[in-house]
Structure 1
């Protein structure tokens, strides 16, 4: 998206699509991603911690990690190579410029910076960072920092890598001084900082059931969820939100713990509405929400679209399909109450 911004001179990216444009990236050339991602086994991504950003300023780089993402960071770090720690960063909305990777006609990659027009650059965002623990103490450098494509690489000694990993485990800030030990005036600092909890997501998203704001509520996009076809339409489960409850003010500890329950609920909902897909779509109810409450003394659901509950004509089929699944899920609860909202779309089948 940033590369599109660089192409069409919009920051951070254009709001429109240009049809039949030339691809911005061609065959994979000589890129640092060959070293960081396993292309042979079709693993093309770096782990990304939600809310983690990289701020680059004059002689200072700050990697900022939200405190409520500690578990995500540990999961990514524990899977990493002991000599290399690499992660993708999120878009930095506090930055006024961003590094962009550009591939030229020869297939080589170059770095550009895209910025807000007529505004001085103070903070530049980066798309990833790499710590490499292969620097020799005999090199005369305390550490080295450099821009690589649209990210930043910090070369450190094996001892510094051990200290960095321990600081992350202990959730402590850590500072690395880069440059030659005997040239203080040319040194740069890399700060790893734990910041306030990240609640900057799902902005502007509202529930199709009653218009409730979903801002800062944890959600999981569903890419291969339940999908059922009937009468030339298809109903598809696309997302699940884990709503906050009094006993769990920060939502579920790990949404993956409830993957089987959400899948069973989604399947029952889709099957129950299959006979009604054509009518729902014609009535403008293409986006549907299902909010399920599981508690020791309260079990139930709400279904709606366009901020209104579904009409009684649909509820009989929903009751028959959902109530057994929900009660079964409530019996298997090992923790406090669970409130989750599933989102579905009714789409046309394109032959």
Structure 2
């Protein structure tokens, strides 16, 4: 799980790149597999035999395009050699560099997570296109729904990139984009539930205060991760807490909406929340990847596709009901 200064001249691209690299710099903690003597010996021998200048083993183009180098190839190969030996000896599979030893596909480190991340990306693209086609352009909540889709699209794009190739920069962009998406989910929820978009002086003041609060909250979140401690446990806990608050509000609203409308679609948020919580529980029971491909994290990504589609369908029904005057009829 990110001041402005007026300058006489624009900063150079080199300076910008240097600042970005500094921002995304971080340390990497070792896993059990990294510390195994047999793994380190395997990598060392592989590098000596295959990575010498002038006689290095040729790497296929599609992998070189994804920045696979000879040392990285040795690391990947040795992970699977050690894993196969451990399985043959009846020993448990262990992680390397904080990840399970996945079988890559077309150079992708975690192909299942990449594909399922793209599935969520498609769900947001499909959902917002459908919503914009079926809800009048004058509907006042559309800007917030577009921003919700944009945050989701960005989060799942960076997720796919990160799972394709795990670097410090791709990992942090994934975490920060995911955090922004989760926090935006909480941000727009009270705007819809309490109609903070309506042009009254009191609501405008509340909206400004709420917007400022969420921006500060996100800035503090990023500042802590980057400036204090890159804490995986904290990042997960922060996203879970924000998500739980948002989900609780939608469950309350869903029940209230059903009392108003007596329509089955009013319960869709409850169904979506239940599905998301069920698949999120997979993260608590992490296990080695099935067939070297499907781990708990990838299945969690798979499980969020259907609730996302259901969520956009609810937003469409909810918006159409209001546009048709249903709320006025029930008031």
Which TM-score applies when normalising by structure 1?
Answer: 0.23
Which TM-score applies when normalising by structure 2?
Answer: 0.24
Structure with greater proportional strand content: 1
Q: Bigger relative contact order, structure 1 or 2, given CA contacts below 8 A and separation 6+?
A: 2
